[in-house]
Structure formats: structure tokens, C-alpha cells
Structure 1
């Protein structure tokens, strides 16, 4: 099969295809591809023909090579920007993909669809008792594919070594504060010590580099950003601040309640100087900054004029105010076997039903391609130029989708 892709349009040339996806609520939905966005960038006008070969291409010319697999919707924390204090209904166990099913879909993604890396998310992936088995199955079949995990760190202390031996190569720990009282308020659980012990366990298991993901909330931990950075630099961790996205289960997100990338830089600059990094950013969602002592003079390019050495780096992911959707390379598999092309998509492609009805690998790959073709241009919208108050409302919370 031949294909061409650019930023304006994409076309696949192959055999016939019929695409019907399920909405997130479970209703069937037929799709008509929009012809043009408000900003004038054209999407593919005609539904392409897709056969059982080729990458996960969407109608805007992007190719997905990064697979996020949500292993469960359950979590042992109740972070206020992600989940309500109580009341969420968990998926029944029989509605979750098994270790064998996850390994098979991962194999299809790698061998048939060109996926180059996999990250396990949740909920909290460490609540899966078979997590080591899942990682081991995929690593044994594809030892060169990086396998990463995003976790809150609770329970990691006892499992880090087994995870590393199974084939886990990278780890991100969600940690918004190192103040015990603030942590308990943000997560509704007094578990900071367990998280810190988990990070220590990951370090002892050799899971470097360890990345720390942090969300700042106004009036809670936004004044603690320099303290968190100081702790991360001392420990050798790679800290990433992430703008809060409207993916909370309570749907209480507001623009006014979002600490923006510009505000994060301003808060950090109260105690540090942020300078340019030498390498190009590439397709990374994080804008990286070299961190220098306060008072360091920078030249016009953002480098220290007197050769002062960097203390380390910090990243800022401006997922709301400085969207990187045009370079998105992600495809998401939910814990109940649905493909989501975008966090904010209101449609899902059901692979579990197809998988459990006896479909072969080529049929599953075809359905996966079909679902990704309809990926929205930006944050669930067909136009990249929209006000951030107009975010598409996610049909599921982050804990149900997977980060």
C-alpha cells in the first residue's frame, strides 16, 4: 500500500473500507469527514480506502507512533483535578482487557501499525496485580520497544525491581507537592510518604531517568513550585509542570482556575533563572528550560553570558494555552478496550467486542486505523483556532480515559 501525508491533507490508496464507530456513550454513529476547518486547513474530503497495512494516519496528516494503554479506571488517590471524592462506578473486571488481550493488541500496534513506544496509565496502573505479567509479555515479544508507566508511586517501592526486570524502561510519577498537608488536600489521602518511598524504590531499581509530573492549583500548591523544583534538582529527577486540562470528573474546570505555562515560568523565576536549552524541542510536549541560580545573566539567545553551569532542567507542558496538537503522535487504548484518538474525542472505537468475537489481527488493525482516521484536529475540535473556554467536553474523566 502506498500513502502520502502532509500537514494539509492525507490520502491512503488501497481496498474498500466501511467505518462505523461507537460513541463514548455506546450509541452507533456514522461519520462524515468535514471538508475544511475555520482556519482554512483542509482535512481529507473523502473517506480513504484502507487495507491491512500502513501506519495510524489521520486526516490531518499526523501519524500515531505512541500508544497509551490504560490498564484500569481504579485509583487509590482522589486528586481533585481528576476524580470526585466518591461516587464513581468502577468497570466490572470482566469488562477490563486481560493481560493476554493487552499483549495481543500491543503486538498488533507494533507489528501492524508502526507503534514505537508504549506507556501504561490508569487510573493507577499499579493496582493491577498482573502488571508485571503484562509488561513481561510485551517486552519478551518486542525487547526493543520502550515501555513506560505513569503512576502515583503508591506501592512502587515493593514492585519497582520486578517491573524493571520484566522490561519496564521509563517511569513518570505524578507528584504535585512535597508538603504533606497540601498533598493530603490535593489527593484526599495522606499518602505522601508512600509516594516518596516509591520514587526511592524506582531509583534503586535503576529506572532512570525518573520524571515527576506536577499540576499546580491556585491557592493550594501554586506557591510551592520553586520548592518542588528545588527538591527535584537535588534528587536528580526531571520535573515537568503540566497545565490542568478540563478532564476532571466533576467538570469544574475553568480557565481562571488554570495556572498557565507563562504563570509557571513567572513563579519559578522568583527563585531561579530559566534559560534556553541547546537541543531542538522536536515533537516533545514539554518545553524544556535550563535552570540557573538567581542573578545569572543570559545573553540574547538565553544562554549564560558568563558560563554559569546549569543546575538541571525543568519542563513545562502547556497543553491548554500553547497546544501541541499539530504534532500529536498518540493513540489511546482504554481499559475496556476502546480506541480514543484524542483525549477530548466524543467517539470511541470498540476493539474489545471485535477481539472477543474472534477477529484476526488484520481485522483489529483495520478497525484501529479507521478509528484514528477521524482524530479531531485539536482538543476534540475540527479547528485549531478556538478559545480555550471552548474545549470540547470529554465524555469520560481522565481516570477512565488514561493520561
Structure 2
């Protein structure tokens, strides 16, 4: 298989996000209700063998980067085995760029095994530095555990370690400068993300969203910034703090959409292939796998899904409808 994952707008897809589970150890207010959401049935979840086979097919179609997501991916019991298997895949350019997004709660125990298994880097969610606010946001009193996980990631040599903060008006927008200072002091990369309509309760309102421009204004109030632009198809606009090597990124997924250069596809924990975070249609690769499809048929299904990708997510279009799956079930 040599043809790639190219849509009708000429976008070449090289970045695969694989959700390992829809379960999570936190109950973030912007993601799910306090009592959680109905979990996917265990019988529908991809086995490690199935997951790795689909990843291998995707690599044969040009995927060069894989990020493991959730839910919380470290809740998957065999996460180290998954990482080891994926780290063994090779594309024409050599090993894959293999990373993972996590809330860090299990990193004190798993950072070293994951690093030894071949994981290259981690992105850690950190929306606040205040214990009371962390409890209010996540409905769990676990800030100390998250900070311990960040320290564990640094200790085993993951590089870079990126911190992701979702900025919400009247919730944590007063901590933007403090989060940057925290990251800079530890040699970490801070990334701020605009709030997107992916909550399970469908309560998102655009007029309540803190924009990328407002985030930059808040950072600039404390630091002098030098614009670096974007790194290829990466979603973050990067800025260097003048006089330091530290960078700050802003992912303006709503107000500064980067759909025209998007190179991402997604595989959910239950084996559904998605061409966009906001897609309403999925390609059921799990059923194909379990019905005995060969790799050529799986590749054909992936290519067909990508060929239907829309030009953009359409959040600003009056006809926009939020996807039925919440973020926890899609994978970040």
C-alpha cells in the first residue's frame, strides 16, 4: 500500500490520534457531568492486537505521528504494552513520533515504564494551580497528584513536556500569567486552548469563550513575546518569551481555525475512524476487523473516510451541530 490519506482538498494526513479508553479519573466540568457518562461496553473496545494492526495500516498510508489519548489513556491496564508495540512500528522515515496526552495522575508509577517502552513525549492537562479551583473544575481533589505526575515526567527525561490549559472566562482566565510562570520555571512548554463545543452536556456558548487574542493579551501583560508562527501543520501559534528559550503556544481552534492545513485523523477506543474532531460520520473499522477484512480493505475504508472530510469544522456556521460523542469518547 503506497497511496496516502489525502482528501479532496489536497490535505495529506500524517497524524493519527488513538483513544485508548473513554474512561477518565476526573470529571472536568467542561467535559462530562458529575456522575460521568455511559461508558463504552468492554466488548466493543479494540484489543491491543486490533489497535496495533490498524495503526500499522495507517502507517502504511503515510501516518508518521501517533498520539495516544482518552478519556485518560493511562487507565488502560495494558498501556505500556500498547506503547511498546506502537514504538516498534516503522515508516519510510524510521520510527514514529509517539506521544501521549494525560491528566498525569498515574505518571508517578508509569512515567519510567512508558519511557522505557518507547514513548517520546507527553502533553499534560493543567487548567489551574489552585487546589480549590482544581477540585471545583475536576470534582476531584487531585492537584497534588497532577503536580507529582508533572515532576515524574520531567525526572525520566520526556522532552518536551507540554502543559495544556483550557481557558474559561470567569473560571481560570485570571491564572494565565501564573501558569506561564510555572511552566517557565520548570523548563516546560505552556499551551493555551480555546474552549470548543465538545462537552457532554452541550452547554458551550461562543460568547462566553476566551479568545486566543485575549489569551495573548494576558500573557503579554507579564512577558514580552516574540512571534514564531506555526510549526508546519501544528495547531499552536508559538511565541518566545524574549530573553529566554521558553515558548508559549495558543491553540485558537475556534477563532483562528487551522482546518485548511489539518493533517489529523482519529481512531476511537471502540474502533471508529474519524476524519475530524467534529465529524458526525465515522467509519466502523472494528466491525471490518472482526469480520475478517484484510489490510487492503481496512486501508480502503480509511481512505474513503478521509475523502469525505469537510473543508472545515464550521463552528461559526449557523448550521453547526455539535457531535453527539463528547470529547471523552472521541479522543483528543
Same fold (TM over 0.5): yes
Question: CA shift at 1:85, angstroms?
Answer: 1.1
**Matches for 1:61-76 after TM superposition, within 5 Å:** 61-76=10-25
Contact 2:122 / 2:158 at 8 angstroms: preserved in 1?
A: yes
| 1:31-82 deviations in Å (ceiling 9; x for gaps) | xxxxxxxxxxxxxxxxxxxxx5400111111111000000111000111111
The one of 321, 329, 332 aligned to 1:400:
329
Contact 2:52 / 2:85 at 8 angstroms: preserved in 1?
A: yes
- Per the alignment, residue 139 of structure 1 pairs with 87
Contact 1:255 / 1:388 at 8 angstroms: preserved in 2?
A: no
**Matches for 1:19-34 after TM superposition, within 5 Å:** none
Aligned length: 329
| 1:215-243 deviations in Å (ceiling 9; x for gaps) | 11111110010011000000110000000
Question: CA shift at 1:391, angstroms?
Answer: 3.6
CA distance 1:290–1:87, change in 2 (3 Å): closer
User: Secondary structure of the equivalent of 2:218?
Assistant: helix
The one of 313, 318, 323 aligned to 2:252:
318
Contact 2:70 / 2:329 at 8 angstroms: preserved in 1?
A: yes
User: Secondary structure of the equivalent of 1:56?
Assistant: coil
Question: CA shift at 1:280, angstroms?
Answer: 5.9
> For the residues of structure 1 that align with 2:103 and 2:320, how far apart are their CA atoms?
26
> For the residues of structure 2 that align with 1:212 and 1:93, how far apart are their CA atoms?
31
Contact 1:344 / 1:395 at 8 angstroms: preserved in 2?
A: no
Normalised by the length of structure 1, the TM-score is 0.79
User: Secondary structure of the equivalent of 2:190?
Assistant: strand
| 1:285 aligns to 2:285 (yes or no) | no
Task: Kindly report the root-mean-square deviation, in angstroms, between the aligned alpha carbons of the 2 structures.
Answer: 1.4
Question: CA shift at 1:311, angstroms?
Answer: 5.8
Normalised by the length of structure 2, the TM-score is 0.96
Question: CA shift at 1:100, angstroms?
Answer: 0.8
> For the residues of structure 2 that align with 1:64 and 1:203, how far apart are their CA atoms?
30
**Matches for 1:203-352 after TM superposition, within 5 Å:** 203-277=154-228, 281-292=231-242, 309-310=243-244, 312-352=246-286
State which structure, 1 or 2, has the greater radius of gyration over its C-alpha atoms: 1
Contact 1:233 / 1:311 at 8 angstroms: preserved in 2?
A: no
Contact 1:171 / 1:211 at 8 angstroms: preserved in 2?
A: yes
| 1:346-391 deviations in Å (ceiling 9; x for gaps) | 1000000000111111111111111111011111x4xxxx736654
Contact 1:149 / 1:172 at 8 angstroms: preserved in 2?
A: yes
- Per the alignment, residue 360 of structure 1 pairs with 294
| 1:130 aligns to 2:78 (yes or no) | yes
| 1:246-279 deviations in Å (ceiling 9; x for gaps) | 00001000012211001101111222222223x7
CA distance 1:281–1:133, change in 2 (3 Å): closer
Structure 2, unmatched stretches of 5+, are: none
User: Secondary structure of the equivalent of 1:103?
Assistant: helix
Structure 1, unmatched stretches of 5+, are: 1-51, 293-308
- Per the alignment, residue 78 of structure 1 pairs with 27
Answer 1 or 2: which has greater helix percent.
2
Q: Spell out structure 1 runs of 4+ moving beyond 4 A.
A: none
> For the residues of structure 2 that align with 1:387 and 1:206, how far apart are their CA atoms?
41
- Per the alignment, residue 374 of structure 1 pairs with 308
Question: CA shift at 1:106, angstroms?
Answer: 0.8
